Amino acid sequence: MSPGNRRRPPTPTSPSGGPAEPDAYRRIDHEDRAKGSAASARGLTKWYGEGETRVVALDEVDVEIGRGRFTAIMGPSGSGKSTLMHCLAGLDSVTFGHSWIGDTEITGLKDRDLTRLRRDRIGFIFQAFNLLPTLTALENITLPMDIAGVKPDKGWLDTVIETVGLRDRLKHRPSELSGGQQQRVACARALASKPQIIFGDEPTGNLDSRSGAEVLAFLRSSVNDLGQTIVMVTHDPNAASYADRVLFLADGRVVDEMLSPTSDTVLARMQRFARSAN
């Protein structure tokens, strides 16, 4: 990942070289944006570096993430899939364009508001290092609520813990849990605060296939049974097959989309990418 920093890059000229017209973008965006999506983006552009070394990570991406859906974002390395997720989740700043969580535009929010938004409305599952080593599994699960200073909803917490099947592991520290168990704790944490949307960044990337399948099945069921919205970045066609919809990214653009994917159809699509790239 580029050593991006929290400062926004200076206002650039438009990608075509002419002057930028942010107002025009914004007007169109507001008109076109579908109502009721859990997250969305319009003209999302992200550059790293400047001048000669400039890298376009996202190139005017438009995305809608449906509520209560399980969306996978796929693409080869460097396609911008992780960047897209980071920008959608308010973890990274954008060069141009806009993105929303629900009806709240997050581009332009101050750090304090972004932090609160992440805390109250977004859940995260990362590939590795999801848990604080000093806290027990239960403490890790309730951490976002503890930070917010709110009492967790007891009943809901029970449901979540039951669903991830970790009741006998709650007092353990992460170092005493297997990789799969750790990711399940991370899932439970993401769910426990009832976020509007959960972002997963290769959540099964470090797991063996059996643990990975467990975690994915669990994510799937939380969408089916609890109505949770999940966006997951992955490069694994099998993982993507658990989603309702797959977005394919290449060179910073959304190039394709697939509904009701299976591992085979996703794999086939990915192979087409590889061939076209060659």
Partner 1 sequence: MLKATLRSFLAHKARMILSALAILLSVAFVAGTLMFTDTIGKTFNDLSRTAAADVTVKPKKEFREDRLGKSGQQPTVPDSTVAAARSVPGVADAHPDITVTNVIVVDGKGKKVGLTSDPQVQAADWFPTKQSSVVLKRGKAPQGPGEVILDSDSADHNKVRLGDKVHVVAAPGAFDATVVGLADFKSINPGTTMLFLDGAAARDRLLGKPGVVTSVSLTAEPGVDQKELKARVVAKLGAGVDVRTRAEEADDASADLSQALDVIKYALLGFAGVSLLVGTFLIFNTFSMLVAQRTRELGLMRAIGAGRADVNRSVLVEATLLAVVGSTLGLLGGLGLAQGLLTLMKSLGVDLKGAPLVIEPATPIIAYAVGVVVTLVAAYLPARRAARVSPMAALREAGAPPVKSLRGRAVGGTAVTALGAIGLAVGASATKLDAAHGLALAGGLVGTLVGFIVLGPVLARAVIPWLAGAFPRLFGAVGRLSRENALRNPRRTGATAAALMIGVALVASLSVVATSMKDSVGKQIDQRLGADYTLESTGGLNFSHDVAETVRKVSGVSNVVRQRETEAKVLFDGSSETITVTGADPGIDAMLKQKYTAGTAPDGLAPGRIALPKSYVKKHDLGVGGTVTLRTPNGRTAELRVGAVIDDEGIGIASAGSGAVGLDTLAKLVPDLLDSVIMANVADGAKSSTVRAALEAALKPYPQVQLRDQADYKQTVQDQTNVILRLVYGLLGLAIIIAILGVVNTLALSVIERTREIGLLRAIGMSRIQLRRMIRLESAVIAVFGAVLGLALGVGWGVAAQRMLASQGLDVLTVPWGTIAAVVVGAGVVGLLAALLPALRASRMNVLAAISTE
Interface with partner 1 (CB under 8 A): 1, 3-6, 82, 86, 91-92, 111-112, 115-116, 118-120, 124, 126-130, 132-135, 139, 143-144, 146-149, 175, 189, 201, 205
What span, in angstroms and rounded, lies between the C-alpha atoms of 192 and 164?
11
Please choose, from the candidates 103, 107, 78, the residue with its C-alpha nearest in 3D space to the C-alpha of residue 93.
107
- How far apart are the two ends of the chain, measured CA to CA in Å? 24
In 149-251, which ranges are continuous DSSP H helix? 154-164, 179-192, 209-226, 237-240
Helix (H, G, I), strand (E, B) or coil at 249: strand
Minimum distance from residue 116 beta carbon to partner 1 (Å): 7
**Distances from the Cα of 53 to the Cαs of 1, 61, 176, 219, in angstroms?**
15, 21, 44, 39
Token output for 221: 């069921």
Which H helix or E strand runs over 146?
helix 137-148
CA 264 distance to own-chain centroid:
23
| Dihedral pair phi/psi, residue 223, rounded to 5° | -75, -50
Minimum distance from residue 100 beta carbon to partner 1 (Å): 19
Taking the least distance from each CB to partner 1, the nearer of 58 and 261 is 58
Q: Is the dihedral of CA 267, 271, 274, 277 positive or negative?
A: negative
Taking the least distance from each CB to partner 1, the nearer of 228 and 241 is 228
Taking the least distance from each CB to partner 1, the nearer of 38 and 233 is 233
Minimum distance from residue 180 beta carbon to partner 1 (Å): 15
Minimum distance from residue 233 beta carbon to partner 1 (Å): 11
Taking the least distance from each CB to partner 1, the nearer of 159 and 206 is 206
Taking the least distance from each CB to partner 1, the nearer of 222 and 241 is 222
Q: Tokens 């693409």 map to which residue?
A: 75
Minimum distance from residue 236 beta carbon to partner 1 (Å): 15
Minimum distance from residue 92 beta carbon to partner 1 (Å): 5
Minimum distance from residue 189 beta carbon to partner 1 (Å): 7
Residue 103 exposure: Cα atoms within 13 Å on the Cβ side:
2
Other C-beta atoms within 10 Å of 208: how many? Answer: 11
Taking the least distance from each CB to partner 1, the nearer of 211 and 241 is 211
Taking the least distance from each CB to partner 1, the nearer of 115 and 209 is 115
